[in-house]
Amino acid sequence: MIKCVLPVLEMSCSVCAGNVESTVRSLTGVKQAVVNFATESLSLEYDERLITLDEIQAAVEAAGYGLIVSESDRETQREAANRRHYIGMRRRLIVAWLCAIPLMILSMWGMHLPYIDTILLALTLPIVVYAGRDFYIHAWKQLQQRTSSMDTLVALSTLTALLSSLAFTLFPHYWQSKGVMPHTYYEAAGMIITFVLTGKFLEERAKRHTSSALKGLINLQPQTALKHTDAGEQEVNIATLKVGDRIVVRPGERVTVDGMVVSGESYIDESMITGEPIPATKRQGDKVLAGTVNKGGILTIEAQSVGSDTLLAQIVRRVQEAQGSKAPVQRIADRISRVFVPTIIGLAVVTFIIWYICGNRYLTEDGAAYALLTAITVLVIACPCALGLATPMAIMVGIGRAARDHILIKDAVALEKMCKVDCVVLDKTGTLTCGTPRMINAKWFCTEKEKETLINRLYSIEKHSEHPIAQALKRHFEAEVLTPITPDKIEAITGEGIQATFHDTVYRIGKKSFAEKSMPHDIEIAQWEAEGYSVVYYSRENETQAIFAISDTIKATASTTIAHLRQQGIAVYMLTGDSEAAARHVAQAVGIDSIVANTLPQDKEDFIGRLQQRGHTVAMVGDGINDSQALARADISIAMGQGSDIAMDVAMVTIINSDPERISRAIQLSRRTVRVIKENLFWAFIYNIVCIPVAAGVLYPICGVLLNPMWASAAMAFSSVSVVLNSLRLNRK
């Protein structure tokens, strides 16, 4: 099965999105197809043995829409196609308004002029034939596929107004002989197209801003790279790069691949990934990421991940998939959209019949004119766009805003569910603490002369271990060691420590029971253990030479994160596999009252299960493989970006820069996004509930108010634009 996100072109409303979705889903070999109107994308999962992308593209084009399936530069092609569409729409809109303004003036104050109907027809035709041609083309293609959309409503209403007016203009005496007064509605046809086109243009402009976060991420990836070859340096397209290629990155340039520095030394600005404003020093052996900026000297990098395998490309892909996903609340709008257009056409027919009968019976004027006017108004004012945009537009903006804040949300379901969280369970190491232990204190039981040799031996031993405590000791003593010595023999004892032999002398580093069995009680050891530090013993021939206090550093924003979560009414728990003393020390420092220490992966999962049984909606935050069970069990799973890949694969949300403060931000953003969705849906429903009866003329018998099709089209255009603008508020908060 192949998963991909493909750009869809020429959709005009959410009903179009539904048409594309149903067309693709009906194809053999397609497992899943989700179309998002706001992002204009198709999230697709298909079996390449049964169907190809070209066949899917042909089916979509037959339904009257476009699909970009080329694997190279899809976003570039989408951008080019959207730009052509935008420029063409702007050109047609200018022509429409140049004709619409005199059309509106003459229809209001020039009806007494000779040949006025012919003049109005001449002004209307350019609007219908040129400016509004896409409405009719799409409506015809959809009719052939037995589907409909907003284009169907616009095409029906304007063609009805135009053709009836044309019949009245060409054969006025015939209609008079039948007792029908020949009213013309050229201004209705022209202004409907002009106002709808204006609304679509404003909507298009606003939507361009909603994808700015994703475009910003995509633009971080350079399109060319300076490849180091035997013949010298050569500028190549990044699509041609392979793993193992060597890339030269000059000062001021962006890194094009994920890789390892093989020569050179520089400072790299990694703020786009980590959020840290201070550039990180990079030298031989250090890893660099695509999209980061070289601030210093020239670096030569060996590519380890290229193209779609880089971390930046994965982030872009996940944001695209998330923006294209559907929230549960959108199902309501989807169900309504499927039957919306046929229902509106039916209401327009019923409106025409009622007005025709009642008009001829109770009105002194021509009932047919009222019947035609109200039927056209009903067709025009109904707006599936606002309903269809209500959820996806807010989701798109919300997920894009989260990406800018280094919060990667996997799908819309996670964004919607996160607002219901009332319990947050936090892992300690790597979540509240940095996950990189450091030496806090040391006590030596030897002379200064012996100390120098012991430090050399200790560093030489710890060089061979990847244990976090070994790394902490190695980092601390690195500057004091001139020439490390290779041990004659070295052995790691799981759960105990490490031992090595130098010239028949045995050195041990680890737990007390492993390094020294007769170590006398030391008051400093008791104090360190009370403060939650890990105590490491260093012995030579079973005689303790030193003891070290090792502790993990608490993240700077940990305590403010807990305070913010509590302000939002969320209960906070901490689970850790560490000792009770270490857990209590961190909990007191950050302000957590509820802790559970010495937990195994199964214990964490069971704890979350008990909270859920009490009716809580639980978010689990972790970074390690040992957290993956609990992450999978939680209602919302949040992984720290600098943790294990397994944790990030399981998690619904990833904090890219591992800053715990983003946890409270993510929940706050979810609450705001859901609030905007509800506002959008409310106003979209209210608009149609109120406007359609008014368009049908229910107020006419009460107060003589009858809505003109021209103003109905303006109201319809405004409803779509208002939903987009309301969603964009998420970017400003």
Give yes or no for residue 276 having a pLDDT over 60.
no
pLDDT tens-digit map of 58-69: 999 888 888 988
**One domain for residues 693 and 597:** no
Q: Which of 245, 269, 427, 578 is catalytic?
A: 427
Give yes or no for residue 646 having a pLDDT over 70.
no
* Mean pLDDT value across residues 114-128: 92
Does residue 666 lie within any of the structural domains?
A: no
* Chosen domain end from 309, 333, 366: 309
Tokens linked to 547: 């003891």
- Provide the percentage of residues in the chain whose pLDDT is more than 70: 85
- Amino acid letter at 375? A
How many Cβ atoms sit within 10 Å of the Cβ of residue 688? Answer: 21
* Chosen domain end from 286, 309, 332: 309
Query: CATH code at 248?
Result: 2.70.150.10
Q: How much is the pLDDT for 95?
A: 95
**One domain for residues 294 and 326:** no
Tokens linked to 122: 């001449």
Rounded Cα distance, 213 and 501, in Å = 57
Of 585-599, 620-634, 639-653, which one has max mean pLDDT? 585-599
Q: How much is the pLDDT for 56?
A: 93
* Chosen domain end from 78, 100, 131: 78
**One domain for residues 574 and 562:** yes
Of 278-282, 411-415, 520-524, which one has max mean pLDDT? 411-415
Q: Give 15's contacts (C-beta < 8 A, 6+ positions apart).
A: 147, 148, 149, 150, 337, 338, 340, 341, 384, 388
- Is residue 63 classed as helix, strand or coil in its secondary structure? coil
**One domain for residues 498 and 638:** no
Query: CATH code at 609?
Result: 3.40.50.1000
Task: Give the confidence band of 123 by pLDDT, cuts at 50, 70, 90.
Answer: very high
Does residue 101 lie within any of the structural domains?
A: yes
Of 223-237, 269-283, 432-446, 583-597, which one has max mean pLDDT? 583-597
**One domain for residues 448 and 482:** yes
DSSP 534-589: EEEEEEETTEEEEEEEEEPPBPTTHHHHHHHHHHTT-EEEEE-SS-HHHHHHHHHH
Tokens linked to 703: 């107060």
Higher pLDDT, 551 or 367: 551
Q: Are 5 and 42 in contact (CB under 8 A)?
A: yes
Rounded Cα distance, 367 and 452, in Å = 107
* Mean pLDDT value across residues 590-610: 87
Q: How much is the pLDDT for 369?
A: 75
Tokens linked to 201: 């243009």
Domains of the chain: total: 5
Give yes or no for residue 616 having a pLDDT over 90.
yes
- First and final C-alpha spacing in the chain: 40
**Cα–Cα distance list, 129 to 92, 159, 162, 328, 726 (Å):** 10, 11, 11, 41, 33
Task: Give the confidence band of 471 by pLDDT, cuts at 50, 70, 90.
Answer: confident
pLDDT tens-digit map of 379-405: 878 766 677 677 777 888 888 888 888
Rounded Cα distance, 547 and 512, in Å = 9
Q: How much is the pLDDT for 625?
A: 60
Q: In what helix (H) or strand (E) does residue 338 lie, and over which residues does it extend?
A: helix 330-362
Q: Are 275 and 659 in contact (CB under 8 A)?
A: yes
- Is residue 117 flagged as an active site residue? no
Rounded Cα distance, 435 and 552, in Å = 6
Q: How much is the pLDDT for 96?
A: 93
Query: CATH code at 47?
Result: 3.30.70.100
**One domain for residues 546 and 559:** no
Considering only CA atoms, which of 414, 408, 392, 406 is closest in space to residue 323? 392
Q: How much is the pLDDT for 607?
A: 93
**One domain for residues 196 and 325:** yes
Give yes or no for residue 467 having a pLDDT over 80.
no
Give ∠ CA 602-603-605 in degrees, rounded to 5: 65
Rounded Cα distance, 240 and 254, in Å = 17
**One domain for residues 681 and 726:** yes
The 8-class DSSP code of residue 625 comes to G
Task: Give the confidence band of 520 by pLDDT, cuts at 50, 70, 90.
Answer: low
Higher pLDDT, 681 or 24: 24
- Amino acid letter at 91? R
- Amino acid letter at 628? S
* Mean pLDDT value across residues 92-106: 92
pLDDT tens-digit map of 527-540: 787 777 778 889 98
* Mean pLDDT value across residues 371-382: 81
Specify the pTM.
0.64
Considering only CA atoms, which of 86, 286, 316 is closest in space to residue 214? 316
Of 36-40, 73-77, 209-213, 437-441, which one has max mean pLDDT? 437-441
On average, the pLDDT of the chain sits at 82
Least confident of 17-31, 206-220, 492-506: 206-220
Strand-pair partners of 268: 280, 294
Query: CATH code at 530?
Result: 3.40.1110.10
Give yes or no for residue 713 having a pLDDT over 80.
no
Give yes or no for residue 241 having a pLDDT over 80.
yes
**One domain for residues 528 and 633:** no
Does residue 565 lie within any of the structural domains?
A: yes
Does residue 670 lie within any of the structural domains?
A: no
- Amino acid letter at 573? Y
Sign, CA dihedral 187-189-191-194, equals: negative
Does residue 217 lie within any of the structural domains?
A: no
Does residue 665 lie within any of the structural domains?
A: no
Give yes or no for residue 648 having a pLDDT over 70.
no
**One domain for residues 85 and 194:** yes
Least confident of 6-20, 334-348, 532-546, 639-653: 639-653
**One domain for residues 473 and 543:** yes
Rounded Cα distance, 445 and 450, in Å = 10
Does residue 612 lie within any of the structural domains?
A: yes
How many Cβ atoms sit within 10 Å of the Cβ of residue 692? Answer: 21
**One domain for residues 458 and 412:** no
Tokens linked to 134: 């896409």
Rounded Cα distance, 501 and 30, in Å = 63
Q: Which domain holds residue 578?
A: 407-434+555-658
Does residue 481 lie within any of the structural domains?
A: yes
